Amino acid sequence: MTNNKWVSIWGNAVSIAENRPEAFSKNISLRYPIHSPFDGQGLKITLDNYCGTEDVIISKVTALVNSVFYDILFEGKHELTLQPGCSQVSDICDIYVNTDDVVYLSIYLAEYTQMRSAVYVQGPLSGGSYCIGDGCAMEAFPIDISRKTSIVYFLTDVSIKTSSDKRSILCYGDSITAQDWPDYLALKYKDSANSSVAADKDYDNMNAANVDYGNTNTGSMDYSNVSIIRKATSGSRILREYSCITYESYGLKASNRFKHEIPSANGVDTIILQQGINDIIHPVGVDVNPFRPMSDLPTIDELIDGFKYYITEARAMGLKIYAGTLLPIKGWRTYADFREVLRNQFNDFLRSTDLLDGCIDFDLAVRDPEDPSAFLPIYDSGDHLHPSAAGYKAMAEAAAVALQLW
C-alpha cells in the first residue's frame, strides 16, 4: 500500500510539572522509546511548551532506529525556540519504520531550561531516561550519568506516514489513564495481530512484569492497523483547575485541555474518555484545605454537562466516542456516602446515554462483587483509588471487549 496518511504511533498530553526549586535544568539529554505498531516511511514529532512561562531552547533532537541516528530538524535547523504556550511540528525525517521497531527520541537541552511543560506517565511501554551532557549520538546512556524517568517533557506526538488503513485510538483522562491500562490495551492489539510482541515476552527492561493474556479469539479481523495513544494528566478534573503552585501540577480543566490536546494527534478516529473522579473526590472544605472548597463539588447535572462538552467537541472533530465508567473509591481518604452517590449517578448516565458510541464498564471490571463500592482486592493498588497492575490489565480487557477486539 502507498504511505499517504499521517498516523500517531505515540502521544501524550502536556501539563504542569510540580513546582519545585529545581524547576530548571541545563546540559541534559532526555530519551524516550517509541514503539511502532506498524510500518511507515517518514516521521515527524511535536514539541510543546503549552504550560511554560518562559522560552524553551531545544538544542538538538535525534532519532535512533536500528542503530542508525537521524537528525530531527525544525524548519531546516537543529535548534528550536519554543515560546510559552506554543508548539512546533518538526520537519519530516526520512526514516523507514518497521512494525515493532523502537524509535529512541533524544532531546538535548544545552541552556538553562524551564522544565514546566511535562506529564507523568506509567506503563510497560512508557517512561524514558535522561543523562548529563549531550547524549543525542549515544546508542546507550552511560549508567553512571543517567537515570530513568517517568516524566515526559515537551514531547507530545510522534507520527509516521503510513498506509490509509492505519488509524489511532486516543485514550483521554486523568492519572488512571496516565498509568498502565492504555499500554496494556496496546499490547493486546499487538498480541491479537500476531506481532512479535508475544504474551510471554519479558518486559523487565520496560519496568513491568511479564504480560500474559492467555488465548484470544481474533477471528478474521485485522488488528495490525491500530495504534493506541494517550492524552492524560494526573489530578485533572473536568470542571476545575488549581491556580496555586501547591496543586497546579494537577493539570488543566477540560476547556483548557481538550481542544489543544486532541487535534495535535494524527489519524485518530476513536476516543476513549475516562474522567470525572477527581471532580468528586477533591473538594473537602476550606477548614481542611484552603484550596479545595466544597463549592467545587459539582451536582450530577453539572458533572454531566461538563462531560457533554467532551462529546460535543469530539463529534465536531468527527470522532467515535467511548466513555469509561468511574472506578470504585471506597477506602480512599475522602470517601463519603455523598461522593459514592454522585459516582454511581454519573456511571448510570454513561451506561444509559445514547450520546456515545459505547460505554466501557471499567467499574464493573474491577469492583468487588460482594462490595461494589470497593475494588476487588487483587485489583486495588492499595490506595483504593488507582488499580494495581492486575486491575489495569482488567481495564484493558474491558476496553478490548467494548472495542470488539475479541
* CA 1 to each of CA 77, 161, 196: distance values in angstroms, whole numbers, following the listed order: 32, 12, 21
Q: What percent of the chain has pLDDT over 70?
A: 92
Q: Which among 51, 42, 50 is positioned nearest to 93, based on CA atoms?
A: 42
pLDDT at residue 220, as a whole number: 40
Report the SS3 class of residue 21.
Answer: coil
User: Model confidence over 40-60: pLDDT tens digits?
Assistant: 999 999 999 999 999 999 999
Distance separating alpha carbons of residues 48 and 89, to the nearest angstrom:
9
Residue 386 one-letter amino acid: H
Q: Indicate whether 147 pLDDT > 70.
A: yes
Provide the grid cell at 164: 490509509
247-267 confidence digits (pLDDT tens): 999 999 999 999 999 999 999
Buried b (16+ CB within 10 A) or exposed e, 331-348: ebeebeeebbebbbebbe
> Is the pLDDT higher at 202 or at 6?
6
Beta partners for 273? 172, 323
Does the pLDDT of residue 205 top 90, yes or no? no
**Model confidence at 231, in pLDDT bands (50, 70, 90)?**
very high
- pLDDT greater than 60 at residue 295: yes
**DSSP per residue, 144-213:** GGEEEESEEESEEEEEEEEETT-EEEEEEESHHHHTTHHHHHHHHHHHHTT-SS-TT---GGGT-PPP--
The answer to whether the beta carbons of residues 303 and 353 sit under 8 Å apart is no
3-state helix, strand, coil in the chain (%, to 5): 25, 30, 45
Per-residue pLDDT at 338 exceeds 50: yes
Question: What pLDDT sits at residue 210?
Answer: 30
Q: Which helix (H) or strand (E) holds 10?
A: strand 3-11
Output the pLDDT for position 133: 98
Query: pLDDT over 90 for what percent of the chain?
Result: 89
Question: How crowded is the C-beta side of 80, counted as CA atoms within 13 Å?
Answer: 28
Query: In Å, what is the CA distance from 107 to each residue of 28, 115, 131, 218, 308?
Result: 8, 13, 10, 39, 38
**Cα–Cα distance list, 336 to 293, 323, 331, 373 (Å):** 16, 24, 9, 11
User: Taking residues 323-348, what's their average pLDDT?
Assistant: 98
What's the pLDDT score for residue 215?
A: 29
Q: Which fold has domain 166-402?
A: Rossmann fold (3.40.50)
pLDDT tens-digit readout, 350-386: 999 999 999 999 999 999 999 999 999 999 999 999 9
